[in-house]
Amino acid sequence: MALPAASVQLYTLAEQFSADMGGSLDKLAAIGLKNVEAFDFVRRPDEIRAALDAAGLASPTGHAPLLSDELWTPDGSIPTPAPEVVFEAAAKVGMTTVIDPFVAPERWFTLEGVTDIADRLNALVETAAGFGLQVGYHNHAQEFVADFDGQSAFERFVTLTDERVQVELDLFWALTGGQDVPALVERLGDRLVAVHVKDGVAPVPNPFGPDAGEFGSASLDQRHAGTGEVPLAESLRAASGLQYAVIEYDNPPGDVFADVAASYAFLIEGGFAR
């Protein structure tokens, strides 16, 4: 397998990016990155595309809500635009894949809910193709709470989706969901086109479980890739068709650019990405 391209989810540096878009991207390029994964791009695609071009970067993947009327995150809710609006903005930025980053936990707890999520994403495959795009889904840990005949809600979702739907597996959140992460990566096979390279101490219990209390990203103990509990090396080696290895911190432990550089070094020096 050809090595996946290294990238970074811009949510990692949301504050810095909002304050100085061009300067932040220049710092990422100086680290050695050639790709980023955009978020919150729908309201400002032209601005983001111009900044990417100026920094010599591309955003082949990006996160935007496709499956919810309102996107809940630990840090606040984001209104959901129409899919066609999302796809038009993504095409302007230069993306190839738009990935839904979060579907509310309770929708993953029943088979009817999981089936509805898969059906909604399947219905967008052809619409996205009209813009030259593909669609995908990115997990947290709520997708691993329910079990249907020995199969997690997440893996049932994958079996219910069109093979053109791409899967981006967040390795930290899969571990938080109690998964044998390298084995899951292997089972996903070529459906898995991207991973979030994220390390740290997995919270216990699952903060997205039905009895979980209040949760925010600031409570997470996240660390540089290769220094936490997540079996990153084994998981990356288990992948068979990976295209993107996307660095992300929900809660960067220090200076965010130094944190990104440390995880980038893990990927490049370890021979896991290019």
Q: Where are the domains of the chain?
A: 5-265
Strand partners, 152: 147
Q: How confident is the model at residue 219 (pLDDT cuts 50, 70, 90)?
A: very high
The pLDDT value recorded for residue 270 is 98
Contact 59, 93 (CB under 8 A): yes
Q: How confident is the model at residue 71 (pLDDT cuts 50, 70, 90)?
A: low
Question: Residue 48 to residues 36, 68, 83, 101: CA-CA distances in angstroms?
Answer: 11, 24, 19, 19
Could you give the CA distance from residue 83 to residue 127 in angstroms, rounded to a whole number? Answer: 8
Pairing mode of beta strands 76-79, 70-73? antiparallel
Give the rounded percent of residues in the chain with a pLDDT score beyond 90. 93
Q: Is 84 helix (H, G, I), strand (E, B) or coil?
A: helix
With 0-12 / 13-18 / 19 or more C-beta atoms within 10 angstroms meaning exposed / middle / buried, residue 227 is middle
The highest-level CATH class for domain 5-265 is alpha beta
Q: How confident is the model at residue 72 (pLDDT cuts 50, 70, 90)?
A: low
- Tokens coding 96: 């190839």
Residue pLDDT, tens place only, 75-134: 677 678 999 999 999 999 999 999 999 999 999 999 999 999 999 999 999 999 999 999
| C-alpha distance across the termini of the chain, in Å | 12
Place of tokens 């495959």: 125
The pLDDT value recorded for residue 60 is 98
- The stretch 19-31 carries a mean pLDDT of 98
HEC secondary structure over 199-212: EEECCCCCCCCCCC
- The stretch 27-38 carries a mean pLDDT of 98
Pairing mode of beta strands 58-63, 76-79? unpaired
Give the single-character DSSP code of 132: T
pLDDT over threshold 90, residue 226: yes
The count of other CB atoms within 10 Å of the CB of residue 75 is: 12
pLDDT over threshold 80, residue 159: yes
Calculate the average pLDDT of the chain.
96
